[in-house]
Amino acid sequence: MLRRNTTALACSAALALLLTGCGGTGQDDSPGTGKKAGKVTFWSFVKGSDQVAAAFNRSHPDIEVTFETVPSGQEYYSKLTNAVKAGTAPDVAVVEYPQLPEFAAQGKIEDLSETLGPVVKDRFPEAVRQLVDLGGSTWGVPRDAAPLVLMYRKDFFARHKISVPTTWNAYRDMAEQVRKADPGARGGVLFTDNPGLLTALAWQAGGQWFSAGKDAWKVTLDDGPSNRAAAYWGDLAREDLVHSLSSLDPFWTSVQKNRTVAYVCASWCAGAQQATVPDQKGKWALAPVPTWDGRPASAMYGGSSFVIPKGSDNSGAAAEFIRWITTDPEGMKAWVSSGTSSMFPADPALVPVTRAAFGTAYYGGQDVYAVGQASYEAIRPGWTWGPVMGATNTALVDELPKVADGTASLPAVLSLAERTTVAQMRQRGMKVTAP
């Protein structure tokens, strides 16, 4: 099937001010309402996407969704970019929140303001809406939120009379008590291959890495709050109060072997913990993430949205599919039908659906969604993801192992990543003001 030429992609007028060399096609680039029927191709790496597509097809006989699984990470975003350039993009695709500004600014996705903007405005809180509404336009529809939580071994804490920390000062005390109680155990983890948690902790502290003015970006990865969080976690790692580990097998092995008895994560970790370490049923609990002043404050560690890539053959049906999988209770049931999941819906009205599917047995009757809800409500407003997050994250990941082996400080890593980010933005023709 032929698709329209997308080699000369138009940018949003608001975002184009921050990006030079963005030419328009001279045509209307916003998706029309379109006929809500026909065929839709769907790319996703999110667990349960195949079940969601099948459930939608059963309930929408006029629309046929064909699901195609894709790799996660940068390989996927390169694949999607190349498909848009070649005119072979899918009708619906997943884009994580950090990558959305780059795809919007470079004209790779449709402006959804007319079709799905009212849905986003009506159904989603500011904490997540601000991640998909950019430059006065709506570019994606949120699927899930990922509010921070503290996971901890309640049996270990009870046995050694360790209190659950509510502040970061108390968290350090907890980490020292854990190591004293069991020299092989630790009360936290600094991930050496994933900057997502570090970013969330900077956000929670009050950092604002990016802000967009009328004609230029301001980049401040090493602002005061971010440096405070980085120095704190760098010291914990340097003093061996937390593990420095990969976020995949080494981390879960440390949990299975009772070497990690507390860690900061997001709401989705409740399901991952249950699925990966089922034999520790009844031993774990969730608590609010500690804060600097004891007052509730949170951020997101993860989360994704759905977009319509430029070149979609059937944007009307694509918009209907996105609406259903993000805001319809039956769509949410389909997401969690494929296995253990503590996914936290971005749409608060759908929390009862996922709560009922998850259950409370593993956590000894605790309602983990109550913790997630409080954290979601405490997410600091005003966070903006940058337009070259792939380059930013690579710069961070390249240096994190040096923090673990003591050859670099975490605040210095932020400063280096800021310089790399600014250089990349300027190389792409973006205007950046000095912090």
Q: DSSP for 239-274?
A: TTSSEEE-TTHHHHHHHHTTSB-EEEEETTHHHHHH
Q: What pLDDT score does 350 carry?
A: 96
3-state secondary structure of 79: helix
Give 166's DSSP letter: S
**Class of residue 40 by CB neighbours under 10 A (exposed 0-12, middle 13-18, buried 19+):** buried
- Please give the average per-residue pLDDT across 168-185, as a whole number: 98
Domain 15-144+301-358 is found in CATH 3.40.190.10: yes
∠ CA 139-45-88 to the nearest 5 degrees? 65
Binned at pLDDT 50, 70 and 90, residue 28 comes out as: very low
Q: Do 15-144+301-358 and 148-299+388-433 have matching folds?
A: yes
The tokens of 374 are what?
């409080």
Per-residue pLDDT reduced to its tens digit, 120-146: 999 999 999 999 999 899 999 999 999
Q: Regarding predicted confidence, which is higher, 18 or 406?
A: 406
Q: What separation, in Å, do the N-terminal and C-terminal C-alpha atoms of the chain show?
A: 48
Question: Residue 210's beta-bridge partner residues?
Answer: 219
Kindly report the backbone phi and psi dihedral angles of residue 317, in degrees, each rounded to the nearest multiple of 5, phi listed first: -70, -35
Cα 260 from Cα 267, distance rounded (Å): 18
3-state secondary structure of 121: helix
**Within 10 A of 165 (CB to CB), how many other CB atoms are there?**
23
Residue 35 pLDDT exceeds 70: no
Mean pLDDT of all residues in 419-432: 94
CB contact at 8 A, 243 and 189? yes
Confidence of residue 15 (pLDDT cuts 50, 70, 90): low
Query: How long, in residues, is the chain?
Result: 435
Which pair of structure tokens corresponds to residue 71? 């790799």
Q: Is 148-299+388-433 CATH 3.40.640.10?
A: no
41-50, 76-85, 208-217: least confident range: 208-217
Rounded CA gap, 429 and 3, in Å?
29
Structure letter (DSSP) for residue 380 = P
CA distance 133 to 154: 40
Mean pLDDT to the nearest integer, 357-377: 95
The C-alpha atoms of residue 42 and residue 92 are separated, in whole angstroms, by 5
Mean pLDDT over the full length of the chain: 91
Please check the confidence at residue 2 and state whether its pLDDT lies above 70.
no
Helices (H) and strands (E) in the chain, counts: 18, 17
Does residue 18 register a pLDDT over 60?
no
Q: Could you give the CA distance from residue 180 to residue 312 in angstroms, rounded to a whole number?
A: 58
pLDDT of the residue at 96: 97
Q: What is the pLDDT of residue 338?
A: 75
The angle at the Cα of 90, spanning 87 to 95, to the nearest 5 degrees, equals: 115
pLDDT tens for residues 248-259?
789 999 999 999
3-class SS of residue 189: strand
pLDDT tens digit sequence for 39-68:
999 999 999 999 999 999 999 999 999 999
At residue 308, the pLDDT reads: 98
pLDDT at 43: 98
Q: How far apart are CA 246 and CA 186, in angstroms?
A: 15
pLDDT bin (cut points 50, 70, 90) of residue 110 is very high
Give the residue-averaged pLDDT of 298-308.
97
Average pLDDT over residues 377-402: 94
CA dihedral of 93, 49, 47, 366, whole degrees rounded to 10: 110
Which residue in the block uniquely carries the two structure tokens 């210095």? 412
Position 213 scores a pLDDT of 80
pLDDT by residue (tens digit) across 220-261?
999 999 999 999 999 999 999 999 988 778 999 999 999 999
- pTM equals 0.91
pLDDT at 419 over 80: yes
Distances (CA, A) of 257 to 121, 254, 261, 280, 365: 45, 5, 10, 10, 24
- Looking at residue 340, what is its pLDDT? 77
pLDDT > 90? residue 163: yes
Task: Report the distance separating Cα 171 and Cα 290, nearest Å.
Answer: 7
- Which sequence spans correspond to the domains of the chain? 15-144+301-358, 148-299+388-433
> How much is the pLDDT for 13?
42
Q: What's the CA gap between 191 and 193, in Å, rounded?
A: 6
Looking at residue 359, its pLDDT comes to 86
Name the 3-class secondary structure at 354.
Answer: helix
Per-residue model confidence (pLDDT) at position 433: 86
